[in-house]
Amino acid sequence: GCECLLACGPTTSFLSCLTPHRTRQMGGPCLVCERNGSTTKGPDATDNFQVAQFEFDGATWHSVEQCYQACKFPFDPFRLETIQRMTPREGESDKEYGLRVWSEGNGGKVRSDWDAIKLEIMLRVCRAKLAAHPALRGELLATGDAQMVGLPSTEWRGASGKHGWSQWNGRIQMRLREELKQAVCEAPTEMHRSLIRSFEDYARAEGGAEHSLPGSGAAPANAASDTLSRILSNILKSPTDAKYRRLRATNANIGTLLATRGVRDILHRAGFIEEGEFLLLPEFADVALVEV
């Protein structure tokens, strides 16, 4: 049966239900958790080994797995270019190609903050694939509100404990599905807010990004510093204007900012408090604590 425990519903608590399956298997689509407790094979759009060309960070990639593995090596141009030059061979299946680039990406020295940013990178790369293929977006949307879990895959242990792609691949696909729904004017769902919080919590617990991130929406340290300075400067210039004292964490730019190392602590020291999806600077807060 499905390990998602559908009865928990689309709230924060359901995230803890997506536990890894015991048998390890690389590649393949996610599993869709049906309401009767069974699981069915998800659409090919959810398979990171699927060969479907797309653009990311100024380069063309054949699969999510190829792009993701290359992103480990921004400071090792030789290995990055080696992975980027790997193309599917004649007669090679998507899975065979995926395992080949996976193997190449598991040698060498990865960027120092990889554990902290790997989920964000996978999210961005999967988003880029969907952006290039309308049919794949349709496949993902067709799963409706069903919970999804990745097939058994690799696991890792970071500062925040043990994690596995069987958990996070499903969360990534569900988050992207919720983003697609909002693109057609649906209001943010509790499921979407819960998923965003889970990614933010992970990045914060693992220490955040130390270097710039590839892909659109990246927030290198200097960009985060500029954004944070602008937020605090606006408060100092217009201390009674409520719009400058209210930050929505589910906003893409604010969410990326909050995932940057140290930003949330600075806001807390300035007097911001967290209420649901917002960070608020209360009216009674001492504006003198706000420093630029």
238-258: pLDDT as tens digits:
888 888 888 988 776 687 778
Q: What is the pLDDT of residue 182?
A: 76
Q: Residue 77: is its pLDDT beyond 60?
A: yes
Q: Residue 64: is its pLDDT beyond 90?
A: yes
Residues 183 and 192 sit within 8 Å (Cβ to Cβ): no
Which domains does the chain carry? 44-205 (1.10.357.40), 221-289 (1.20.58.2190)
Once rounded to an integer, what is the mean pLDDT over residues 232-238?
A: 86
Would you give the DSSP letter of residue 138?
Answer: H
Quick: pLDDT tens for 162-205: 999 999 999 999 999 998 887 654 567 888 999 999 999 999 99
Residues ≥6 apart with Cβ < 8 Å to 191 = 10, 11, 14, 145, 174, 178
Once rounded to an integer, what is the mean pLDDT over residues 35-41?
A: 90
